Homo-oligomer: A and B are copies of this chain.
Amino acid sequence: MAAEPVWSVDPRTGKPREQVAVEATTEDVDRSVRAAHAVRETLADRSVRAAFLRTAADLLDGAREQIVETADAETALGAVRLTGELARTTAQLRAFAEVVEEGSFLDIRIDLPDPGAIPPRPDMRRWKIPLGVVAVYAASNFPLAFSVPGGDTASALAAGCPVVIKAHPDHPATSELCASLLRRAAAKAGLPEDVVVLVHGFDAGVQLVRHPLVAAAGFTGSVRGGRALFDAAAARPVPIPFHGELGSLNPVVLTSAATEERAEEIGAGLAGSMTLGAGQFCTKPGFVLAPSGEAGDRFLDALALGVSETGPAVLLDRRMRDAFVAGVTERTALDGVRAPVTPGAGDAHTVSAGVLAVDAALLTEGDRHHLLLEECFGPVTVVARYDSRDEITQVLSRLPGNLTATLHVATDADEDADAAPLLAELTPLAGRVLVNGWPTGVAVAPAQHHGGPYPATTSTSTSVGATAIERWLRPFTYQSTPDHLLPPELRDGNPLGLPRR
């Protein structure tokens, strides 16, 4: 069988730009994983790993113009956004270099022997070791920060795990470019290039998660694709951890007091957040509980005004555009759904943003409107108008897990009696709650948590921030092991000066 070509496509025109690669065959996938596995020990030295991550950041920054141009041509995300995303990506690589050097991620715990204890306590030294080859499934919507040089790759390499990356078909040229830079950085740091391997193709992705030498996987994408890979990971003879970020509705609740206080401001803010990046952020607020009545009307008017002022948007690819048009059409057709701004197709290659509205009461019973409680990727949000506190509770109890949940309360929150109980109701639904803010724009910071109850993530981990490294490690204890046989990190006298307990 001839190898399937992999084309780079311009979403602004739908036209193929160039053939970038061919899809990996079963043999290619096997060869890729074995190549990465064969060089895993070369990542054992933490200072080499840190140098590699910094060199990768430097090479990516050095190729900024070419990367941004290539990524924009494939994703239509625009040079400004992509320049910012590249800066975030290289900052993330450098941050993980620091994490590797600082060493507290090793979670070293030393118990000196106590022969007098009952029973006698042996010498035990625990740290964390890398799992092995990590399969990384790149996302479409962040062609850099959640793709080839993104958080999964950076954290896995930081942990000492080689990566085999399954490129996203929406930006294969960007993927090839970034992978070649990462491999060049490896060589410059004295490592084999095969600590980073790139493969293309849907089937290759499925084979990857089933490969016996793949030890863990990271994924960012749809519920459907992610769940299929999660199931394959769990069904292996030896199951492996699958850290997937699948989908999130990101509910927003407006209290009556907040809406009375600043309906217009909230409406305008939401319009900006839900249309940011053409509504293709994983934290896009896709569902809003707003009060019925006059203040709620003013909020909805402001939201509609803001959304109607956004121009047509190019989504990441044709399939997403078609899925958006189909998704909003199906939702708009539901009994009782109004469209203050009708979302749908723009010209042949664009979509127009929209707002749907419905009475919350319709969502509290039966399954006829369940679609409104599912993520619709792209620039649309659903506003459910509630008549009572009890309706909010009932609707929230029907929501799936989310990355974020947002609560708008009166500025003087002390005065808003709904604030505390609603915050408590939102907590089980999300990994991050925000008060009087917007969930898009995920700060890279130590207290960040980018994860949440299923389907937001398939594990209790985060894919953003320093603790993302924990996903690719396992604890390991040396008992009664002579000092010279221990890794230097665990030896007497702490020769490397690492944090220990």
Contacts and interface: CB of A to CB of B under 8 A. Distances in A.
When all copies of this chain in the complex are counted, the total is 2
Contacts of A126: 446-449
A444 to B, nearest CB: 9
A13 interface: no
Contacts of A462: 475
Given A433-B481, A435-B485, A476 B449 contact: yes
A124 B447 contact: yes
Contact of A454 (B129, B239, B434, B479): B239
A495 interface: no
Contacts of A389: none
Interface string A420-454: 10010001101111111100010101111101011
A330 to B, nearest CB: 22
B239 A458 contact: yes
A423 B475 contact: no
Contact of A434 (B430, B431, B480, B501): B480
Interface stretch (A25-33, A230-238, A296-304, A368-376): A230-238
A419 B231 contact: no
A283 to B, nearest CB: 11
A40 to B, nearest CB: 10
Contacts of A239: 230, 234, 454, 458
Given A423-B485, A474-B460, A446 B414 contact: no
B435 A481 contact: yes
A420 B125 contact: no
B480 A435 contact: yes
A280 to B, nearest CB: 18
A441 to B, nearest CB: 6
Contacts of A340: none
A14 to B, nearest CB: 33
Nearest to A445: B111
A459 B233 CA distance: 13
A375 to B, nearest CB: 15
A239 B413 CA distance: 36
Contacts of A451: 474-475
Contacts of A129: 427
Interface residues of A, number: 66
A423 B122 contact: no
B481 A423 contact: yes
Contacts of A436: 480
Given A445-B121, A445-B124, A485-B420, A480 B238 contact: no
A460 B119 contact: no
A494 interface: no
A99 interface: no
Interface string A445-489: 111110101110011111000010000011111111110110000
A82 to B, nearest CB: 15
A397 to B, nearest CB: 12
A157 to B, nearest CB: 18
Contact of A414 (B124, B449, B473, B484): B484
Nearest to A215: B453
A312 interface: no
A131 interface: yes
B111 A447 contact: yes
Contacts of A435: 478-482, 485
A480 B447 CA distance: 12
A150 interface: no
B447 A485 contact: no
A447 B401 contact: no
Contacts of A241: 459-460
Q: Which of A231, A430, A473, A476 is the most central at the interface, judged by chain B CB atoms within 10 Å of its CB?
A: A476
Contacts of A437: 122, 479-480
Interface of A: 109-111, 119, 121-122, 124-126, 129, 131-132, 230-231, 234-235, 238-239, 241, 400-401, 413-414, 419-420, 423, 427-428, 430-437, 441, 443, 445-449, 451, 453-455, 458-462, 467, 473-482, 484-485, 501
28 contacts: A119-B441, A121-B443, A121-B445, A122-B434, A122-B437, A122-B443, A124-B443, A124-B448, A125-B447, A131-B460, A231-B234, A238-B453, A238-B454, A239-B458, A413-B482, A414-B482, A427-B476, A431-B477, A432-B476, A432-B477, A433-B479, A434-B481, A435-B481, A449-B475, A451-B474, A451-B475, A460-B473, A461-B475
Given A431-B475, A435-B478, A453-B474, 9 more contacts: A124-B445, A126-B447, A132-B428, A231-B235, A238-B401, A423-B485, A434-B480, A437-B480, A462-B475
